[in-house]
Amino acid sequence: MFSQNSELILIIDDTPANLDVISDTLNDAGFEIAIATSGERAFKQLQLQLPDLILLDVMMPIMDGFEVCQQLKANPITQDIPVIFMTALSDTESKTKGFELGAVDYITKPFQEAEVLARVKTHLQLRRLTKNLEQQVAQRTSELNQALQDLKSSQLQLVQSEKMSALGNLVAGIAHEINNPLGCVHGNLNHIAEYTQDLLGTIELYQQHYPQPADDIQAQAQAIDLDYLQEDLPKLIHSTQEGIKRIANISNSLRTFSRADSDRPIPFNLHDGIDSTLLILKHRLKANATRPEIEVITNYGQIPLLECFAGQLNQVFMNILANAIDAIDEFILKEKAHEKKKKGEICIGTELLNRAVVIRIKDNAMGMSAEVKAKIFDHLFTTKGVGKGTGLGLAIARQIVTEKHNGSIEVNSTLGQGSEFIITLPINSQVAS
């Protein structure tokens, strides 16, 4: 066993005389020494203990120093160990090759004791400084990451605890603020479309009656590419109108999602609530760098309007669907690491069963173990990493379904086969105020 209090130097040389000289010099200086007489024996020695520095002879049989150095630098375990070549060769080509392979220095034979010690001590000191710096950076990075995670966790805890009461008002306010300028733009754009058609029609009449306009008019028409403008301007206006329609749909979905809950329940179409939630989550369903687009399959049955707190039920849908997307992302990322291709899928179904509305939301992610399934609705329980989940979403969802709507929520899940959340809401039950 080598001492843990001093630095270890591995000497690789097939010449006993050279080994004796260099080992005596280093031993006298207080260094621990390990010796290998070939590249093969050196790698066996490295399996027992990693040195702090390697002195490597260039000219050796079977496996020369260049090949040994190349293998050392190709191995993540040994690539950072400084290598000093020992050689009688003094040509520039050999030295250049050694430096290209990752060596830090050369010692020329015959050995000069003072030179050997100076070079060894210099590179050991550089290694110590590098290690200390790496440790400090790693420690500081770890501290900063932990502080960031703690901050995110605190923020999420605060946001989650307040959002049930604030989200509806916030989103409704945004939708209202969007609708006001949107209505103005929509109205003006319709007039612009009419005026544009009138102007383009007038230009066509001028072109018919005055096919040879004045030179300055003809030059201006060419400068602005009048033919292209006449063709593209209606398309541009139509595209803008379609964009406004899309914004209006998003605004309406926001208002549907955020139905302000008063002190009493209101009749609500659950399908509208689910669709509005999907629209809000649309950006998360789209394809990204790690997976294709998540497919959403809806199978809506004939269900009546439900007397309920619409905004709160929309929050339930949001929590379950967002968790499904998270689970699919995580599962596909793991599958990708094993070179398996899988497309994410979420199935949503509704039906009227025994005087109750049943909503089923199923994903094809990894699923849950029996232990996780038993705790999934517990307060503050989460399978997500620090800063990614608060453990409040499903606990709040259960409270909304069971306490506010006298319903039930359960999960069917098998590890490797996805998860299915089943929400049952009675249509004749007295909703809690």
CATH number at residue 286: 3.30.565.10
- What CATH number did the domain enclosing 61 receive? 3.40.50.2300
Mean pLDDT confidence for 231-243: 81
Looking at the domain assignment, is residue 309 inside a domain?
yes
Single out the residue in 111, 130, 150 at which a domain terminates: 111
Looking at the domain assignment, is residue 413 inside a domain?
yes
What is the predicted pLDDT for the residue at 162? 54
How does pLDDT run across 308-347, given as a tens digit for each residue?
A: 888 788 888 988 998 899 889 888 887 765 555 678 899 9
Looking at the domain assignment, is residue 236 inside a domain?
no
Looking at the domain assignment, is residue 270 inside a domain?
yes
Domain tally, the chain: 2
What is the predicted pLDDT for the residue at 160? 44
Q: Residue 46: is its pLDDT beyond 60?
A: yes
Mean pLDDT confidence for 208-234: 82
Number of CB atoms found within 10 A of residue 310's CB: 25
Least confident stretch, 197-201, 203-207, 255-259: 255-259
Q: Residue 87: is its pLDDT beyond 70?
A: yes
Looking at the domain assignment, is residue 320 inside a domain?
yes
Residue-range definition of the domain harbouring residue 68: 8-111
Single out the residue in 111, 140, 161 at which a domain terminates: 111
Looking at the domain assignment, is residue 286 inside a domain?
yes
Average pLDDT over the chain, rounded to whole? 81
Looking at the domain assignment, is residue 305 inside a domain?
yes
Chain centre distance of CA 119: 46
pTM of the prediction? 0.47
Looking at the domain assignment, is residue 169 inside a domain?
no
What is the predicted pLDDT for the residue at 170? 59
Mean pLDDT confidence for 345-356: 93
| Residues 164, 312 contacting (CB under 8 angstroms) | yes
Single out the residue in 95, 111, 127 at which a domain terminates: 111
